Structure 1
Amino acid sequence: MRLPRGVPRFLGCCVVAGVLAAGVAAPAALGAGVLSNQVADAVDGISATLASSEQPLVTTVTDREGTPIATLFDQYRLPVTADEISPAMKAAIVSIEDRRFYDEGGVDVKGMVRAALHDSSGGSTQGGSTITQQYVKNYLINVVDRNNRAAQLSDQADTIARKLREAKIAVQLGQTKSKEDILTGYLDVVEFTGNIYGVGAAAHAYFGTTPDELTVPQAALLAGMVNNPAVYNPYKYPDRALQRRNLVIDAMVSTGTLAAADAATAKAAPLEVLPGGPDVPSSTCLGAAPDAGFFCQYAESYLIRAGFTADQLETGGYTVRTTLDPRVSSIAKQAVDANVPTAQNGVANTFAVIRPGQDTHEVLAMVANRNYGTDPAAGETSTNLLSSASNVFGAGSSFKIFTSAAALESGKAGLDTPLPNRAGQCFTQPGANEYTQPYCVQNDGVNYPDPISLRNGLATSPNVAFVNLEQQVGMPAVLDMARRLGLRTTLTTNDAGAKPDPSSDNTQYSQPQSQYFQDKLSFTLGNSPVSPLEMANVSATLMSGGTWCPPNPVLSVTDRYGQDVPVRQQACEQAVPAGLANSLLAGLSQDTVSGTSASAAAAAGWHHADFGKTGTTQQSESVAFVGGVDDYAVSSMVFADGPHPKEICPGNPVHLGDCGHGAFGGTVAAPPYFEAMNQILGNRPDVPIPAADPAYLRARS
């Protein structure tokens, strides 16, 4: 015989009520084998999971001074303690959700029976769940099973097994936790639409306040929302939300927590939510300030490489104190924006600053005229222009640093060694056969001496002398030197700046640069993709006595309890002897004095002791200045970054064009360096460039 509609639900709830009223008797007392097993197998495990599962919290990323620069989160939640919640908020939620909360156990048997009777008679379903039960349900959905959609559906299933399981866990919580802790826990875990979880985040997002300052109308609005956040969203459905808020206020009167006169005043108040809200911060580094976006993204990826998962960073409630220097970063950003406007068509200007050291290379700034974002029309990009091999045209003659270092190490040349330097010359490529075309290069200009010393060559940058030297040293040694000094990631990319594609028949795409350039003498002229950050780190390696360390963006990580969390870092390495590094710095110290950037230095009033090397690609699609001063290692690069790259032309502003004689590293990439570093250094006394080691002045082989 078919039972009347509602009777099965009524009987089931009576069973639940009977079990719970009997002192939370064992599920087997129901005499329902399958149900008993379901509940018995689940409750203890879930109770333990509830006790051990931490709520997702916001991770805060700060600069080195502790000022927040970004937040990372999956659920926007600002946890609070019981005394940080206003009495009005507590009264509102209890009045509308569970007015017997302070008198009942974890479940309200009377309420469950009443709800079952009402439902079985054909009326609308009345909720029989206590705040404790809702706490259990929301904790399962929003915390324990937040990444498991099937489990979340099970947590909400309209079944007797689910209700009994939830009720028994609620009774256990009621026996082990105080009412204040349960109420606070519930208000911390419940959703208020979208990514807003908990009363702390809701108070901020909807009213721009803290939960301890919530007024009666504000508290009533939030308390009314938890029943159905989407339906009572005050921005989408203000009339509905207002009616619900006033219903909560009436409930507060009926429970005796609000006087009728005060209720009338509260009901007359407008919704008072923040205009244009809710005010929720960005959950990614896309919300960082223009001078911090690329840095933030790099710090996040650095931590993931160090062993953190993306989910940990989005839910762990960490405080990540980075190495970002707000003053250095702000000044550098202003310098690149003045050189190339943010939305300038097809031209990017990157600027990276690293502090050298024997134990760590702290990244102080990673900026570009572009901003980290998703709107290309506004000059934004979601590609990290600093850390990736984004400059696909290369850093030009600044790569002569690697050939010089390899020559000094091998003894093929010293700083005073005369290098053959004809106006033009053709070279046989490594591993060439009779069908291989020779590699022919010319010097850019006719005033170079022949021969020219390596020291003078570093300042004036003749192409022929360095290709000749590269051929003598050998490509394996030059490429290995580039890796050791800093191009660790760059050389793992292909000649398009991307991950090598083994399926491609074209070695330009299938091979990493470390392999692709083994037979190509063009490497020393810097025509290959490169990371601007790694080029700054090359300078840092030389300034650290030849010690390479990974570019480090993180000073410390603390967890939600304030405890230090260790961050695994790749060990520093002695890439080259200190004497070699110092000698190379000495050899590079004339670029801003008498070399390729001297005119720009004079125009900027530059007078500091520094070192540098400019670079310009053959068609001027990219220009670079790589160098350092005091304890700042720097790279400044200007390169074509649009879908239709062309020659970069100097001017105000720098732009793409057909200017015949395009930009140079000394005329376009060096000026932002002088502009920024003049401000950063101020009147600080100069730090002299180390003297060359006599062992590296002359050839030894």
Structure 2
Amino acid sequence: MIRLIGYFFGIGTTLALLVAAGLAIYIGHLTKDLPDYEVLAKYEPPVTTRIHASDGSLMAEYARERRLYLPIQAIPDRVKAAFMSAEDKNFYNHPGIDITGLGRAIIVNLQNFGSGRRQVGASTITQQVAKNFLLTSDQTYERKIKEMILAFRIEQAYSKDRILELYLNEIFFGFGAYGVAGAALTYFDKSVNELTVAEAAYLASLPKGPNNYHPFKHADRAIERRNWVIDQMVENGYVTREEGDKAKAEPLGVKPRRNGSYLFAGEYFTEEVRRQIIARYGENALYEGGLSVRTTLDPKIQLIARKAMQNGLLKYDTLRGYRGPVTHIDVSGDWGVPLGAVKGLEDVPEWTLAVVLDSSADGLTIGMQPARQVSGDLVKDRVEGTVSKDDMGFAMRHFVNGKSVRAKSPAEVLEPGDVIFVQKNEGSDNAYSLRQVPEVEGGLVAMDPHTGRV
């Protein structure tokens, strides 16, 4: 019996040694093709270029990846806590791989085997750095083993703070935002220092799958994931239960920041600056170089110049009469929906589209184009206003079949369903004046009165 036990023990030991040798050869083969993790020391990600006016106000941002790189010391503890709670609560304690988390994931996956459920992962932040910077996202065991090996090596070569810094500045958040600083601006129009617990938790929920937790398409799912992150922050001791409950009661509060130009009336100037930067330094410098550009544009003078030109064009155009409405829609039902589909003027914010609901000898009753929520949906409220006969005086001379006609009543000019441009009268709540887009175009030449230079 003892000989039999010894026989089987010898066979088992031999098989174990053969398996170990096979694994060693396999891992040795994989390590030959591993990328050089030392490139992380020279990491220079694409960063947003920002263009400023002469007074320092932001005119525009340009980037392929909307990112502002932040050193780890500039990232608040609550933000770091949210990401570690969501992705790797033992980050500062493990050597690159969380053995406990890995074992737990293996058990769960074995229990779910054959059930059709998605396999649970156990990647640490260090492993995600290895994957995002040095490997592909292929779902293969070979890639996973390489990821683990690289995680061990990265941990030996870099500090925990440096690894976390790389992670927080590289990850993709959706909406074109990369890195936590870019995400804070994109989703909440805030710096990372201004983020609340709820906002930080929502951002921390996004790297798992930005589109899965889209703030408008999947709002309920996004709130559920955010609240789970908040609970993890409470469990890990980063926030109190009271703070966590208060954060979970808050709405998502996402206010996407628009792209392109931010300074009103400076769009054409900004575009010329963009072209000059590309001509001098190339597209990569503009869209990836993180340049900080200061221009000569004075925002106050720019507004005055724009107003002077606008008034001149309007005066010239209105002397030639009214050419008719923008379009015509059905107002028998909810007029806000078809009116919301009509495109207005983005560069003339003083004007808004409206639809004529009633016309009489005294003037017009109009319905204002509904505003849009941050989700893109129209608001449900419908706002009405009036245009008096005096506030559309120039339109009393309008065109019918190409001939100029003098009208006696606004009802002869416009009828219910006509879509028009209007501008709110100064000091009034619901009184508006009729406007029309001039056919004549104009340009402005700025000249220094002292030197005569353009």
Shared fold per TM-score greater than 0.5: yes
The residue correspondences of 1:149-164 to structure 2 (distance < 5 A) are 155-164=136-145
Q: 1:100 to 1:323 in 2, by over 3 A?
A: same
User: What is the Cα deviation at residue 342 of structure 1?
Assistant: 12
- Residue in 2 that maps onto 1:107: 97
Q: 1:228 to 1:333 in 2, by over 3 A?
A: same
Q: Distance in 2 between matches of 1:295 and 1:270?
A: 41
SS at match of 2:308: helix
- Residue in 2 that maps onto 1:480: none
Per-residue CA deviation, residues 321-364 of structure 1 (Å, 9 max, x unaligned), is: 2343545544443333233259979xxxxxxxxxxxxxxxxxxx
Q: 1:378 to 1:271 in 2, by over 3 A?
A: closer
Q: Distance in 1 between matches of 2:198 and 2:209?
A: 18
- Residue in 1 that maps onto 2:63: 73
Q: 1:319 to 1:122 in 2, by over 3 A?
A: same
The residue correspondences of 1:207-222 to structure 2 (distance < 5 A) are 207-222=188-203
SS at match of 1:204: helix
The residue correspondences of 1:622-633 to structure 2 (distance < 5 A) are none
1:84 pairs with 2:65? no
Q: 1:341 to 1:187 in 2, by over 3 A?
A: farther
- Residue in 2 that maps onto 1:264: 245
Q: 1:290 to 1:95 in 2, by over 3 A?
A: closer
Q: 1:655 to 1:252 in 2, by over 3 A?
A: closer
- Residue in 1 that maps onto 2:33: 41
Q: Distance in 1 between matches of 2:43 and 2:128?
A: 17
Among 302, 307, 315, the alignment partner of 1:334 is 307
- Residue in 2 that maps onto 1:125: 119
SS at match of 1:192: strand
1:316 pairs with 2:289? yes
User: What is the Cα deviation at residue 131 of structure 1?
Assistant: 0.9
Mapped contact 1:95–1:252 kept (Cα < 8 A): yes
Mapped contact 2:278–2:285 kept (Cα < 8 A): no
Q: Distance in 2 between matches of 1:97 and 1:170?
A: 15
User: What is the Cα deviation at residue 273 of structure 1?
Assistant: 1.1
Q: Distance in 2 between matches of 1:303 and 1:182?
A: 34
Per-residue CA deviation, residues 642-699 of structure 1 (Å, 9 max, x unaligned), is: xxxxxxxxxxx99669xxxxxxxxxx989x66xx76xx64xxxx6699xxxxxxxxxx
SS at match of 1:339: helix
Mapped contact 2:58–2:263 kept (Cα < 8 A): no
Among 134, 158, 167, the alignment partner of 2:128 is 134
Per-residue CA deviation, residues 362-381 of structure 1 (Å, 9 max, x unaligned), is: xxxxxxxxxxxxx997387x
Q: Distance in 2 between matches of 1:237 and 1:257?
A: 27
- Residue in 1 that maps onto 2:362: none
Q: Distance in 1 between matches of 2:176 and 2:438?
A: 42
- Residue in 2 that maps onto 1:468: none
The residue correspondences of 1:229-268 to structure 2 (distance < 5 A) are 229-267=210-248
Q: Distance in 2 between matches of 1:81 and 1:379?
A: 37
Q: Which structure 2 residue ranges, 5 or more long, are not aligned?
A: 1-18, 319-341, 348-435
User: What is the Cα deviation at residue 236 of structure 1?
Assistant: 2.3
The residue correspondences of 1:310-389 to structure 2 (distance < 5 A) are 310-326=283-299, 329-341=302-314, 378=345
Q: Distance in 2 between matches of 1:160 and 1:213?
A: 41
- Residue in 2 that maps onto 1:604: none
Q: Distance in 2 between matches of 1:224 and 1:38?
A: 32
Per-residue CA deviation, residues 496-538 of structure 1 (Å, 9 max, x unaligned), is: xxxxxxxxxxxxxxxxxxxxxxxxxxxxxxxxxxxxxxxxxxx
AA matched with 2:197? V
- Residue in 2 that maps onto 1:419: none
CA RMSD in angstroms comes to 3.9
Q: 1:28 to 1:339 in 2, by over 3 A?
A: farther
Per-residue CA deviation, residues 590-644 of structure 1 (Å, 9 max, x unaligned), is: xxxxxxxxxxxxxxxxxxxxxxxxxxxxxxxxxxxxxxxxxxxxxxxxxxxxxxx
SS at match of 2:34: helix
Q: Distance in 2 between matches of 1:69 and 1:294?
A: 11
- Residue in 2 that maps onto 1:273: 253
Q: 1:121 to 1:65 in 2, by over 3 A?
A: same
User: What is the Cα deviation at residue 294 of structure 1?
Assistant: 2.2
1:55 pairs with 2:28? no
User: What is the Cα deviation at residue 223 of structure 1?
Assistant: 1.6
- Percent identity between the two aligned chains: 32
Q: Distance in 1 between matches of 2:168 and 2:242?
A: 27
Q: TM-score normalised to the size of structure 2?
A: 0.61
Mapped contact 1:344–1:379 kept (Cα < 8 A): no
Per-residue CA deviation, residues 64-111 of structure 1 (Å, 9 max, x unaligned), is: 443321111112223323333332222222122112111101222443
Q: Distance in 1 between matches of 2:86 and 2:439?
A: 65
Mapped contact 1:86–1:213 kept (Cα < 8 A): no
Q: 1:343 to 1:49 in 2, by over 3 A?
A: farther
- Residue in 1 that maps onto 2:162: 181
- Residue in 1 that maps onto 2:275: 301
User: What is the Cα deviation at residue 320 of structure 1?
Assistant: 1.8
Per-residue CA deviation, residues 211-230 of structure 1 (Å, 9 max, x unaligned), is: 23333222222222221211
Mapped contact 2:75–2:192 kept (Cα < 8 A): yes
SS at match of 1:31: helix
User: What is the Cα deviation at residue 121 of structure 1?
Assistant: 4.5
| Number of matched pairs | 322
Q: Distance in 2 between matches of 1:247 and 1:52?
A: 36
Q: Which structure 1 residue ranges, 5 or more long, are not aligned?
A: 1-17, 20-26, 141-153, 346-374, 381-652, 658-667, 690-701
Q: Distance in 2 between matches of 1:300 and 1:212?
A: 30
Mapped contact 2:215–2:252 kept (Cα < 8 A): no
User: What is the Cα deviation at residue 36 of structure 1?
Assistant: 4.7
Among 206, 212, 218, the alignment partner of 1:225 is 206
Among 184, 194, 197, the alignment partner of 2:178 is 197
- Residue in 2 that maps onto 1:148: none
Mapped contact 2:223–2:252 kept (Cα < 8 A): no
Mapped contact 1:107–1:129 kept (Cα < 8 A): yes
Q: Distance in 2 between matches of 1:243 and 1:113?
A: 26
Q: Distance in 1 between matches of 2:74 and 2:245?
A: 26
Q: Distance in 2 between matches of 1:187 and 1:94?
A: 10
